[in-house]
Amino acid sequence: MCLTAEHLEARVATEDIKCYKILQKDMKSYYHGDFQWEIGKLYETEMETINRNPKIIGQAFHSYCSYLDTKKIHIHAGKLSLVVECTIPKGAMYFEGYHGYDTSGYASNQLIVNRVIPREELFSDFDFEKYPYKVGQKIKVSDNDDESGTCMTIEEIVPKDKIVYIKTDYNTIYNSALSLMTDNEGRPLFSYSPSITIIE
């Protein structure tokens, strides 16, 4: 992930800056899978510019300004993911600008991951208790042409407006989690949507 900066020179943070990041379920970076994060630890890195006009920052710690933007990207992340709250600490060097998806963000040389934001806080207007499917359930997914179905486990449930994305542990050929879509009541969205049967 790169940042297109809105200013040419790095700024120095005069106070702590709250920001957000999307990580994989194992707390590894989403775009650089070998980087392991720990909560509460201060990380430092070099910042490198890969283009000067417009100024694009490549190597750095990238984060999002907006909580709402971060939620939207989390919903569409192909891999199983977490939203974490972070701090760019006072005294750190940083650029402000935007990432892909036209989302405002930062590139900084220091970052601290403060906490994982629980799904009940991320999606406080959704009733997970009433939704028929739960994280950890084993399900069988069958389409109209195949009654035998494929068994998988629900790893993540992500609601957005009137659609609920069910992310499973079944990997697609693109190395991302197979996602199923239902309405808020757990019903298939379309006539051609696969059927979901709870095994346990």
- The tens digit of pLDDT for each residue in 111-169 reads 999 999 998 898 888 999 999 999 999 999 987 666 678 899 999 898 888 899 898 98
Q: What percentage of the chain exceeds 90 in pLDDT?
A: 49
- Rounded distance, CA 169 to CA 24, Å? 13
Q: Which residues pair with 154 in a beta bridge?
A: 168
Considering the domain architecture, whether residues 17 and 75 belong to the same structural domain is answered as yes
Considering the domain architecture, whether residues 47 and 112 belong to the same structural domain is answered as yes
Considering the domain architecture, whether residues 110 and 158 belong to the same structural domain is answered as no
Contacts with 130 (C-beta within 8 Å, 6 or more apart), sequence order: none
> Does the pLDDT at position 107 exceed 80?
yes
Considering the domain architecture, whether residues 7 and 74 belong to the same structural domain is answered as yes
* The pLDDT value given to residue 25: 84
Considering the domain architecture, whether residues 105 and 153 belong to the same structural domain is answered as no
Considering the domain architecture, whether residues 147 and 94 belong to the same structural domain is answered as no
Contacts with 1 (C-beta within 8 Å, 6 or more apart), sequence order: 30, 31, 62, 99, 100
Q: Is residue 124 part of a domain?
A: no
Q: Is residue 35 part of a domain?
A: yes
* The pLDDT value given to residue 112: 98
Q: Is residue 127 part of a domain?
A: no
Domain end point (choices 62, 83, 118): 118
Containing 11, the helix (H) or strand (E) segment is: strand 11-12
pTM score of the predicted model: 0.81
* The pLDDT value given to residue 76: 64
Q: What percentage of the chain exceeds 70 in pLDDT?
A: 93
> Does the pLDDT at position 7 exceed 70?
yes
Considering the domain architecture, whether residues 114 and 143 belong to the same structural domain is answered as no
- Count the domains in the chain: 2
Considering the domain architecture, whether residues 92 and 143 belong to the same structural domain is answered as no
Q: Are 111 and 43 in contact (CB under 8 A)?
A: yes
Considering the domain architecture, whether residues 66 and 148 belong to the same structural domain is answered as no
Output the domain CATH number for residue 86.
3.20.170
Considering the domain architecture, whether residues 84 and 10 belong to the same structural domain is answered as yes
Domain end point (choices 118, 148, 178): 118
Domain span at residue 162?
A: 138-195
Condensed to tens digits (0 to 9), the pLDDT of residues 15-55 reads 999 999 999 888 998 776 678 999 999 999 999 988 777 88
Q: Is residue 130 part of a domain?
A: no
CB neighbours of residue 65 within 10 Å:
18
* The pLDDT value given to residue 146: 63
